[in-house]
Amino acid sequence: MQYILLALFYFLLPVLIIYLDKKFSIVNKIGPVVICYGVGLLIGNIGILPEGIEGFQEKLYGYVIILAIPLILFSLDIRKWITMAGKTFISLLLGLASVLIMALIGYFIYRNVIPEIWRVSGVLIGFYSGGAPNAAAISFALNMEPEVFILTQTYDLVVGAVTLLFLMTVAQRFFLLFMRPYRPADKENMGSSGESYHEKYESYNGIFHRRIFFPLLGAIGLSILVLGISAGISLLFLKKLDDTIIILGITSLGIAASFVPRIKSIEKSFQAGIYLILVFCLVFASMADISMFSTESLPILFYIVLVVPGALLLHGILSWIFKIDVDNFLIVSVALSMSPPFVPVVASSLRNRDIILPGMIIGLIGYAAGNFLGVLVGNLIRVLG
């Protein structure tokens, strides 16, 4: 009975948070992910959870994350990425290269003071390239301890908030000291956006309408099938269930399924995936011990400070070398490091609406590519160590 009640709590609280997110601006500003982490940390550290539930929690967060990733990927328009003009695509590659380089530099600096730094590195790549969904999937693939993941997430939020403030205020003027300004001719030929990003990827309106709900159940069933195929591949080649193979498998099959028009057109599959990510955040955080926040954990903060602002600066220098204009560079940086919802915010501060759609698409590419990059970098650093 206690497991049923706990499962109901884990699945229903994110529904309430999503509802409050649409009703109250303060909840929207804090963000559902942060609130789920906060509530999870609270209930996990005040002694109200029953003893011996760790196994149940581990199974629950494992299942929700591997079902969430395909749902998020089903709705992505891969074909539209191919239409991106060269400069935007080059800026994307430069941004990814920058964070990879800084993560490797940080590894050589902190490898003797951060235990299992390879896991932290992989998750950092996930946070930078796609955001919380990727970081969560990578932490699962790399078998990261909940305490270390929450530490990394918390410090990333702090560094990310300062970085976002910089991007919205003085970043444009700073990088204009050596980069060329944006010109109307730089506008990417992305075509019309059709429906808005908010409606397609954020709004939950009408999700229980028959026209949306039943196809969405089909998408969930397809996500389960994708999981089954990935698990089968792992058993076939490794004779065991390997988390890394499963994560890479569901990512690959999720991307492949997005090429099927009937699957890609299923409404609200992205939102369903994000909802499961919130469940993951709540469960995972409730397993963490807040006593982990101590001076001993500061090297993780220093590592993140090196990687995130360092990657931004390196990305700017490389963009200058490749003659990328400052606005496109900044919006690609925001899309990668902050996730797509922040793109319109920064574009507004830059007073440039032309870069919103390319920025959104870059952010969605990050969702698709982040798992591969994070797992690759994590295991590469593990080999180096």
Q: What is the pLDDT of residue 197?
A: 61
**Structure tokens belonging to residue 323:** 């003659």
* Per-residue pLDDT, 193: 46
Domain presence at residue 254: yes
pLDDT of residue 17: 95
What percent of the chain is predicted at pLDDT more than 90?
Answer: 44
d(CA 323, CA 320): 5
Percent of the chain with pLDDT over 70: 92
Q: How many domains does one find in the chain?
A: 1
pLDDT above 50: residue 53: yes
Q: What is the pTM of this model?
A: 0.76
Average pLDDT in the 122-132 region?
A: 87
Who wins on pLDDT, 221 or 285? Answer: 221
On whether residue 210 sits in a domain, the answer given is yes
- Which has more confidence, 69 or 360? 69
Looking at per-residue pLDDT, the higher value among 366 and 253 belongs to: 253
What pLDDT is attached to residue 41?
A: 86
Decide if 246 is inside a domain.
yes
Asked whether the predicted pLDDT for residue 85 surpasses 70, the reply is no
pLDDT on residue 277: 87
- Look at residue 93 and tell me whether its pLDDT is greater than 60: yes
pLDDT of 385 over the 80 cut: no
pLDDT at 129 over 80: yes
What does the pLDDT read at residue 150?
86
**Res. 308: pLDDT tops 80:** yes
pLDDT in tens, 13-31: 999 999 999 889 898 888 8
133 and 69 in contact (C-beta within 8 Å)? yes
- CA dihedral sign of residues 285, 286, 288, 289: positive
Mean pLDDT of the chain: 86
Instruction: Report if residue 191 sits inside a domain.
Output: no
Q: What is the mean pLDDT of residues 143-163?
A: 86
- Whether 294 maps to a domain, the answer reads yes
192 inside domain: no
pLDDT tens, residue by residue, 258-270: 999 999 999 999 8
Does residue 249 belong to any structural domain of this protein? yes
The per-residue pLDDT for 31 is 83
Domain that residue 272 falls in: 2-186+197-384
Residues 320, 341: Cα–Cα separation, whole Å? 26
The DSSP output letter for 195 is S
Residue type, 350: L
Tens digit of each residue's pLDDT (9 = 90 or more) over 181-240:
987 655 554 444 445 666 777 789 889 999 999 999 999 999 999 999 999 999 999 888
In a domain, 241, yes or no: yes
C-beta atoms surrounding 299 within 10 Å? 18
Q: How many CB atoms sit inside 10 A of residue 297's CB?
A: 16
Measured CA to CA, the distance from residue 288 to residue 149 in angstroms comes to: 9
**Model pLDDT, residue 9:** 96
Residue range 41-57: mean pLDDT, rounded: 88
Query: Apex CA 373: angle with CA 92 and CA 256, to 5°?
Result: 85
**Cα–Cα distance, 77 to 352 (Å, whole number):** 24
pLDDT of residue 147: 84
